[in-house]
Chain A
Amino acid sequence: MIEIKGLTKQFGNFKAVDDLNLTIKTGEFFGLLGPNGAGKTTTISMMSTVLLPSKGEIRIDGRLLDRKASEEKRKLSVITQEYSMRQDMTMDEVMEYQGRLYFIPRKVMKERSDKLLEFAGLIDYRKRTVRHLSGGMKRKLMICRALLVEPEILLLDEPTAGMDALSRRQMWNMLRSINSETMTIILTTHYIEEAQALCDRVALLNGGRLQKLDTPAALIDELGKYTVDENTDGKLESKYFHKKDEAIEYLKTAAETASLRSTTLEDVFIECAGQAINKDR
């Protein structure tokens, strides 16, 4: 279990994360969503100890996570937004370096590395240096590297950023297949449909603050399961309804271009981000 208590990160006068409190259960697929600058990556960076919090703490199974906490860090693996790898190393060297950093015996490391590179379709490129890989291949290599250590907690910061739709779908399937009852996955993403498809619960952040926290279904229910989109004066506006009858009734009185559809997590996200922006104004 991961407990985040009063987590705050301040850069000068700017609060990137402001008093964040979360409890993430073991085996949960948890999404951190929010617009640019919401504090998602900063939170992940603090969870990976690259950044230290200005206030607050993170505990893993009750024990404080800091840069000295080798036992806790052994449970963690991270896929960062950037390609955080030595560009001059080959794929094999990247995997071996990771294995060595996590004290994995060489034989085990070799077996796991072969299996993962095969699974990701990278085995034929294993002698290629990182700088000569495509963006998609680098992403897959980062996943292989993170999974090599069989982490209990996997932190994914925008793992599908810059990927085409097909590669993104392959990545989702890969993430689904590795998610188990014992592996906790924390995902930040800009692709809301990704979070809706994968996550058990999501936290919506804005301006470093937690706005909402629940399952995607519960958040959608709260807003209203049915959406009527209306295009008035070139501006798309959505109205949300809890009951289908109410939505249909509204649709009858609305403009001809109006349409009815199911509410998505993206609607929740847009409403939440919009409200926060209006509040700030």
Chain B
Amino acid sequence: MGIITVLWEKWTEFKRDFIKITVAAMIAPVLYLIVFGLGVKTTASGEPYLNFLIPGIVAMSTMTGSFGAIVQNMSVQRLYEKALDQVMVSPTPLWQFIIGQILGGSLRGMYAAIVILLITLPLRSELIFNAQSFFIMFLNGTVFATIALVLSFLAKSYSDAPRFTSYIIMPMTFLCNTFISTDQMPAGISQVIALLPLSQASGMIRTISKGGDAGVFGYVVLFVYLCVFSALSIMFIYKKKNL
């Protein structure tokens, strides 16, 4: 029930800011597609680079969409508007509030990815996006929504939210299997970056897009991140002395 309340809150926000949310979801991915995909015409493993790039951009959009939907909103609600107080004092179980935030954030990430899939429709005749791809997008969204929740509980001022984006999202965007394969990175660094959630999500969506089998390892990695950050979010909301 509390989960529905949070999803309702997210829905009212989405309806109100529909155009802003849609434009924001499009700008960076479209620019990347134009510059790296269409501008720098190249190939990857003998294939058009766009076939490599589009699955990566789709995975990246779920990350930025879900992270952005939560980190900014929760930081402002907690530190500036103090609207989180309304939730804290209410009888809504706080774990339901957290799950609602994770689902709501992930759905926003999915929406961002769907916008990109629609934009790239004329460019990706050979690529496959099926139910499994959408599940991975959803899972990736939940991971970044939980990371955003943890960071928004750690934020000391609402200007921390853009900083978190610069420290976490920006490096992941460029390093985690979006524009270049982690295999092309120096040994040691490559293995570490390959274990980051976006690298796994990009890799799995890309493999499926070529008709391959995504395997199990990527799911395990994403589930581990989801479990760890969900547990941290729940611990913070129940145990943090000064919210």
> Interface size bucket, A side?
20 to 34
Q: What is the minimal beta-carbon distance from B36 to any residue of chain A, in angstroms? A: 35
Q: Is the CB of B91 within 8 A of A84?
A: no
Say whether A48 contacts B89, CB under 8 Å.
Answer: yes
- Which chain B residue shows the least CB distance to A51? B242
Interface residues on B, range: 20 to 34
Contact with B along A95-108 (1 / 0, CB 8 A): 01110111100000
B240 cross-chain contacts in A, Cβ below 8 A:
52
**Interfacial residues of chain B within 38-92, with CB under 8 A of chain A in the complex:** 77, 81-83, 85-92
| Chain B proximity of A72: nearest CB distance (Å) | 8
In the complex, A244 Cα to B5 Cα: how many Å? 61
Question: Chain B contacts of A48 at CB under 8 A?
Answer: 85, 88-89
Whether B91 lies near A70 (C-beta < 8 A) is: yes
Indicate with 1 or 0, residue by residue over A78-92, a CB within 8 angstroms of chain B CB atoms: 101011111111000
The A interface is mostly helix, strand or loop, or mixed, namely loop
Q: What's the minimum C-beta distance from A145 to chain B, rounded to whole angstroms? A: 8
Residues of A within 8 Å of B239, CB to CB, are 52
Contact check, B238 vs A97: say whether CB atoms are below 8 A apart.
Answer: no
Q: A74: nearest residue on chain B (CB-CB)?
A: B91
- Smallest beta-carbon distance B241→chain A, Å: 5
Task: List 20 A–B pairs whose Cβ atoms lie within 8 Å, in order of A's numbering.
Answer: A48-B85, A50-B88, A51-B241, A54-B241, A67-B238, A73-B91, A78-B89, A82-B82, A84-B83, A86-B9, A86-B81, A86-B83, A87-B81, A88-B13, A88-B16, A97-B9, A97-B86, A98-B90, A101-B87, A101-B92
Binding site for A on B (CB under 8 A): 1-2, 4-5, 8-9, 12-13, 16, 77, 81-83, 85-94, 237-243
A contact residues vs B (CB 8 Å cutoff): 11, 48-52, 54, 67-68, 70-71, 73-74, 76-78, 80, 82-89, 93, 96-98, 100-103, 145
